[in-house]
Structure 1
Amino acid sequence: MIRVSERKEAEKLLYTDVAMVLIDPYYGENKEHESGVSIDDMYSEGMSFFTELIESEINLPIYFIEFEKIFSVVDKNSLYQRGMAGIVPVNPLAPETVERQIDQILEEIFMEEKSREFAKRGYVLDFNTAQILSSDEKRLFIQYHDLKKRMAVDMDSQSAIMKDAQRPTTKFSEVIGAENAKTELAWFTEFLKNPKKYSMEGRRLPKGVLLYGPPGTGKTMLARAMAGESDVAFLETSATQFMNSYVGKSEENIRRLFRTARKYAPAIIFIDEIDAIAKERTGDTTSQHTESMLNTLLTEMDGFRENVKEPVFVLAATNYDLDGSVSGKKRRIDPALLRRFDNRIYVDLPNEEERKQYLELKLNQKGKNKISEDIISNLAARTTGQSIAILQNVIELAMRNAAKAGTELSGERLLDALEEYNYGEKKTWEQGYYESVAIHESGHAYAAWCAGEKPSYVTIVSRGNFGGYMQHENSENKPNYSREDLLGKIRTSLAGRAAEKVFFGREASLNTGASSDLRSATDMAMRVIATYGMDEENLVCLSPEQILNTTLAKEFIERTNRLLKEQMKETENLICSGREKVEALAKKLLEQNHLTQNEIQDIFDET
């Protein structure tokens, strides 16, 4: 028990884990004012603090100390009506009785709190009893045994409330990436753990957060991590589960979910795919049903501040890009709903380092930590723009393929799984075709290397609509490109045909295999001239599509072709000067079908 004599000290203690408050109503009494007929009319520091507490929604049990002055019946009734929990009389002749009374009150408060917590998790206590007669046969004892807890939630709550075994145990430390989202959600987690602290500090109590961003970035995992960190009731659903063809049933589904959350509060409601019912209202008769559901959701969210001590927090998620800054397209979530959320957090795709962390984590969890650092780094570098969910699918595919073949998971299996996941099954052709592809792809890799890149992967395995490919170095952290950078990319695109010409002759090089390379080179050359203002004769900045619809089309096409012919000539000279390196790389490709960044680098360094 802590005794304080200053209001400020008492207010600070309320931020801590306080079980009850004892107030002397006569402390700091101002005797210059008339006391009136009731204790309510008295001016004192004690009564002022009492008034402050009951108006602040702190919801702590408040007891009054009855010391020298005995409360009248009128005073007691008044204080009980205002929210007093009880009176602790102090006997000056036996002051030790006060401590016993307080201990008893604290024990009752503890038992009530545990009982509420037990009930909020949907449990009841089962037990058996036995009657035991005392030896003198004058007393009968009731013995309780076989105590067990069991779930006993009502019908409304059965589908929403999770058992302890089902409750999320995920922590923020287990979520890879999304650092901004984790930091923000951690703040709200602290609120759920100690809502009265935020109330006493005068902060506006939060209602919820909207998570948005590409699919597979971990929005659901973030929600489950918040539940795991806060250890509160977690109700997980999707907006589509609200929908019902019967009139009024969808709205009732929403109300039932929020009723359950309030019953077991503090709680988190997680609504995935909220855009299914949250599109901007237009008044169109075809969308009246959805708009009615949205109105119900808005009404329920407005009722969250009923109990500060037992808050309900809404987490919602959508895969749509709300402001169009990433995809260029906006999905109009109703402004009224957006205002209900305290923050909208964009959950981005993982960067290279985060992808590497995830791969290491998952492979270690599965006991496959013998995969080399080179393979893991290569996979991380080559999966720019891919989500955590896709990386998980690649690992699972590699493990299935290894199980089918009756072998252990290996780095080769992982590399092959990434190729299969992205581009499909392998195709088989005759040997002469692979020799041509090996020279073609080696030409690409050598030109990229000469342009200052470190190609991350090259393969001659045929999948989908291509015979092989060279993957550029990961450039997600490169902010911009110079003219020479772009010319290097043009030469890299042209290097496949240039290599075939140098090694097999002009006629053999004129095949359809370079069509996509030529389209890429043409698009880049047109942008150098028309879009990026890198041409000495022109500073007009227009897209290729805009130019091709004007009278300038012929002029710009001719200038683009001149640039391409100049770069092709340079590329052929480049291949001739590096013939040995190209040939060495092609030979290695024919031996093992694909090469990683470090393997490519080793061949160029050694040749």
Structure 2
Amino acid sequence: MRSLCSTAPFILQECAASCPSIQQDATLKFLFTPVLNLREFGLSDLKTSQLAELADRLLPCLSPSDSNAEQPSQWQMSHVSSQSFFENKHGFSSNFFNVLRASPLSRQHARPLQTLCSNLHLSPIQEQIRGFKTLRSRARRLAASEHLVESENIAPPSFIKGLLLRDRGREVENLDSLIKTKNIPEAHQDAFKTGFAEGFLKAQALTQRTNDSLRRTRLVLLFLLLLGIYGLSRTPFLSVRFRTTSGLDAAVDPIQMKNVTFEHVKGVEEAKHELQEVVEFLKNPQKFTVLGGKLPKGILLVGPPGNGKTLLARAVAGEADVPFYYASGSEFDEMFVGVGASRIRNLFREAKANAPCVIFIDELDSVGGKRIESPMHPYSRQTINQLLAEMDGFKPNEGVIIIGATNFPEALDNALIRPGRFDMQVTVPRPDIRGRIEILKWYLGKVKVDPAIDAEIIARGTVGFSGAELENLVNQAALKAAVDEKDQVTMKDLEFAKDKILMGPERRSIEIDAKNKKITAYHESGHAIVAHFSKHAMPINKATIMPRGPTLGHVSLLPESDRWSETRAQLLAQMDVSMGGRVAEELIFGTEQITTGASSDFDNATKIAKLMVTKFGMSDKLGVMTYSDPERASPDTQSAIEQEVRILLRDSYERAKHILKTRAKEHKTLAEALLQYETLDAKEIQMVLEGKRLELK
């Protein structure tokens, strides 16, 4: 039978619902009250003789004389084997009785329960004891205890009552015995039986539903687990991901670069020429090995970002038609010790199995940086050590070309760039004007463009642009043409994209009053007039008073060709052009109306003057000596430097003032044209200065 403890809540609920009057029945209420209440643990109500007799009946016999008592103990116990038969039977040695007899709290002077509690800490019992109570002995004990309580006519505390009646519920074998034992009134017996049955059935149904739900859940989870294991073992993609994330043996697959050749690489002709011999080696290695020569094992591509280092490496593999293994330097190191070195070994093992091939490691400084002793990362050198061993160790590495790319070659470890490893360094610089023209034509060929577009003009105005920045310029122009609902990209779209990249987006929402707009027009026209009438200044490309970024206007100058070096006259002309804005404000509006708009112009002019004095040796007073750190020089030297810089700036200001005074008419004409049209290109500026009339836009 199911224990009443599990069904008691349902039985109590149903009994109370069936007969409300029995809710007040003391007997039924006592049936479901806890049998152990420590707060009512009091034995003072019992007399000494009663307590002694109760202890003799409930507790095991502790003295040898008790074994010959008329009424044997109700406790039947099984003991683990001990040192002696006596200890095996009773759980403690016979020496314990000597302690009890010698104690002043012996049974002749104190109660048995007090004696046991006082001397319990002296008991040497340390062995495991298994006790069991038989039904016969339990019934006899309960009968004796009830007789003791009735004979003395006392009400023991609830703790003793619970101790005596603790197992009574477990002895009930049927409902009639329970009703008879608890003295349920006849008027309430039917209701009690009905509630008991309904509660028992509800408990059975709930248990059955719970078991069924747990069984179904276990079956579903087991099915999903088996399905997942089967999928990981059968699906290639999942199996590769599982290998990659659960172990060190990550899958390495080569890439074929048949569609990428040197024709796709523009603006870096020297780098392509140096890599051509690598392609020849991969195509025909016997051509080099016959003469006994060896091709460099590693090629290091160095240059600013966005200039085509990755594209060059892909083109080498595409030209030679060999497998291409790509890896980023940051992919090797993780938080687990040995992961980076293991991945290096896997990469080179796969590459050697498919030689000849190309391994390209991008951002090489992430994995090949200088080795240092760091208590925070004691294992950080394992990865680079493994890379050094794979590139030039005892094991041959024939037919595998390693190409690395980095923006910071000075951060690489010296052992990595020595001969035998990365012993061939190829510089990939920013493209010159010819390279920029090629790159622009390449990307313009991918969009719909106006045939009148002149890529050379855009290339002249994009000095210092990388290939990636030129691609972005063409893309921005295409987006502008799409916004304006044009069917092709025009020159104005390209100019707009260039100005947006250089100076920021237009701020058409800003409201500038007429006075500030007039000051801006004369300021920018002052720059343009000085640039136009200075012999060594760069040609003007555009003048505008449209606010862009942090500026209210701008005059752009384009060199006719790339300048690899600049003369003293060219540097002075740049300073004069920078001074033109402030000089124009002073001549037109007076010294009291000059503005703060010339701060960036003064910064540029001062920078040029300091370089001329401290770096370029263009000062008559200080001579050709350079000053790497002028701030640490002596006070006299610093004073001399400042004086020379001040002289250069003052002379430049006077030259700009002289030009604007002599060309006051052209200055006024150009300023009025800017107020009318806001933006003028080089041809329109030339027409205004020649006195020709511009067509309205």
1:511 to partner: Cα distance: 0.8
Q: Are the counterparts in 1 of residues 367 and 383 from structure 2 also a CA contact under 8 Å?
A: yes
User: Which residue is equivalent to 2:253?
Assistant: 161
Q: Does 1:429 align with 2:472?
A: no
Q: Are the counterparts in 1 of residues 618 and 624 from structure 2 also a CA contact under 8 Å?
A: no
Q: AA paired with 1:420?
A: K
Q: AA paired with 2:663?
A: G
Q: Are the counterparts in 2 of residues 269 and 312 from structure 1 also a CA contact under 8 Å?
A: yes
User: Which residue is equivalent to 1:60?
Assistant: none
Where do 1:397-546 residues align within 5 Å?
397-408=476-487, 409-427=489-507, 428-432=510-514, 433-452=516-535, 453-474=538-559, 477-508=562-593, 510-529=594-613, 531-539=615-623, 541-543=625-627, 546=630
Q: Are the counterparts in 1 of residues 322 and 358 from structure 2 also a CA contact under 8 Å?
A: yes
Q: Which moved more, 1:271-280 or 1:285-294?
A: 285-294
1:179 to partner: Cα distance: 1.7
User: Which residue is equivalent to 2:125?
Assistant: none
- Deviation per CA, 1:154-186: give whole Å up to 9, x if none: 95899643565xx35122122112222101111
Residues 1:203 and 1:288: Cα distance change in structure 2 (over 3 Å): farther
CA distance in structure 2 between the partners assigned to 1:530 and 1:181 by the alignment: 35
Q: AA paired with 2:519?
A: S
Q: Which moved more, 1:258-267 or 1:492-501?
A: 258-267
User: Which residue is equivalent to 2:157?
Assistant: none
Q: Are the counterparts in 2 of residues 223 and 315 from structure 1 also a CA contact under 8 Å?
A: yes
Residues 1:560 and 1:244: Cα distance change in structure 2 (over 3 Å): closer
Instruction: Determine which of 179, 203, 206 is the counterpart of 2:296.
Output: 206
Q: AA paired with 1:571?
A: A
SS at match of 1:426: coil
Where do 1:235-384 residues align within 5 Å?
235-302=325-392, 306=396, 311-320=399-408, 322=409, 330-339=410-419, 340-370=421-451, 372-373=453-454, 376-384=455-463
User: Which residue is equivalent to 1:392?
Assistant: 471
Residues 1:538 and 1:282: Cα distance change in structure 2 (over 3 Å): closer
CA distance in structure 2 between the partners assigned to 1:573 and 1:527 by the alignment: 25
Residues 1:334 and 1:307: Cα distance change in structure 2 (over 3 Å): closer
- Deviation per CA, 1:205-241: give whole Å up to 9, x if none: 4312010110001001101111111111111121111
User: Which residue is equivalent to 2:261?
Assistant: 171
Instruction: Determine which of 314, 321, 326 is the counterpart of 1:231.
Output: 321
Q: AA paired with 2:526?
A: G
1:456 to partner: Cα distance: 3.0
User: Which residue is equivalent to 2:44?
Assistant: none
Residues 1:302 and 1:539: Cα distance change in structure 2 (over 3 Å): closer
More strand per residue: 1 or 2? 1
CA distance in structure 1 between the partners assigned to 2:493 and 2:617 by the alignment: 45
1:495 to partner: Cα distance: 0.5
Q: AA paired with 1:365?
A: K
Q: AA paired with 2:529?
A: Y
CA distance in structure 1 between the partners assigned to 2:300 and 2:616 by the alignment: 37
SS at match of 2:463: coil
SS at match of 2:381: helix
Where do 1:135-154 residues align within 5 Å?
none
1:298 to partner: Cα distance: 1.6
SS at match of 1:353: helix
SS at match of 1:462: coil
**Greater CA radius of gyration, 1 or 2?**
2
CA distance in structure 1 between the partners assigned to 2:528 and 2:628 by the alignment: 28
- Deviation per CA, 1:536-588: give whole Å up to 9, x if none: 44426354961686234445544543443343233222112223333343344
1:351 to partner: Cα distance: 0.7
CA distance in structure 1 between the partners assigned to 2:362 and 2:378 by the alignment: 21
User: Which residue is equivalent to 2:312?
Assistant: 222
Where do 1:575-590 residues align within 5 Å?
575-590=660-675
Q: Gaps (5+ residues) in structure 1?
A: 1-150, 323-329
CA distance in structure 2 between the partners assigned to 1:524 and 1:281 by the alignment: 40
Q: Are the counterparts in 1 of residues 299 and 423 from structure 2 also a CA contact under 8 Å?
A: yes
- Deviation per CA, 1:107-141: give whole Å up to 9, x if none: xxxxxxxxxxxxxxxxxxxxxxxxxxxxxxxxxxx
SS at match of 1:457: strand
Q: Which moved more, 1:342-351 or 1:467-476?
A: 467-476
1:201 to partner: Cα distance: 1.8
Q: Are the counterparts in 2 of residues 527 and 543 from structure 1 also a CA contact under 8 Å?
A: no
Q: Are the counterparts in 2 of residues 363 and 369 from structure 1 also a CA contact under 8 Å?
A: no
1:489 to partner: Cα distance: 2.1
Q: Gaps (5+ residues) in structure 2?
A: 1-235, 244-248, 693-697
Q: AA paired with 1:189?
A: V
Q: Are the counterparts in 1 of residues 391 and 397 from structure 2 also a CA contact under 8 Å?
A: no
Instruction: Determine which of 164, 189, 193 is the counterpart of 2:283.
Output: 193
Identity of aligned residues (%): 31
Residues 1:495 and 1:307: Cα distance change in structure 2 (over 3 Å): closer
User: Which residue is equivalent to 2:695?
Assistant: none
Aligned residues: CA RMSD: 3.1
Q: AA paired with 1:430?
A: I
Q: Are the counterparts in 1 of residues 546 and 679 from structure 2 also a CA contact under 8 Å?
A: yes
1:249 to partner: Cα distance: 1.9
Q: Are the counterparts in 2 of residues 454 and 601 from structure 1 also a CA contact under 8 Å?
A: no
- Deviation per CA, 1:21-65: give whole Å up to 9, x if none: xxxxxxxxxxxxxxxxxxxxxxxxxxxxxxxxxxxxxxxxxxxxx
Q: Are the counterparts in 2 of residues 401 and 413 from structure 1 also a CA contact under 8 Å?
A: yes
More helix per residue: 1 or 2? 2
- Deviation per CA, 1:498-544: give whole Å up to 9, x if none: 12223333322x11001121232233344445554444444263549
Q: AA paired with 1:341?
A: F
CA distance in structure 1 between the partners assigned to 2:621 and 2:336 by the alignment: 68
User: Which residue is equivalent to 2:233?
Assistant: none
Residues 1:294 and 1:537: Cα distance change in structure 2 (over 3 Å): closer
1:601 to partner: Cα distance: 4.3
CA distance in structure 1 between the partners assigned to 2:653 and 2:628 by the alignment: 21
CA distance in structure 2 between the partners assigned to 1:292 and 1:277 by the alignment: 10
Residues 1:467 and 1:224: Cα distance change in structure 2 (over 3 Å): same
Structure 2 length as normaliser, TM-score?
Answer: 0.58
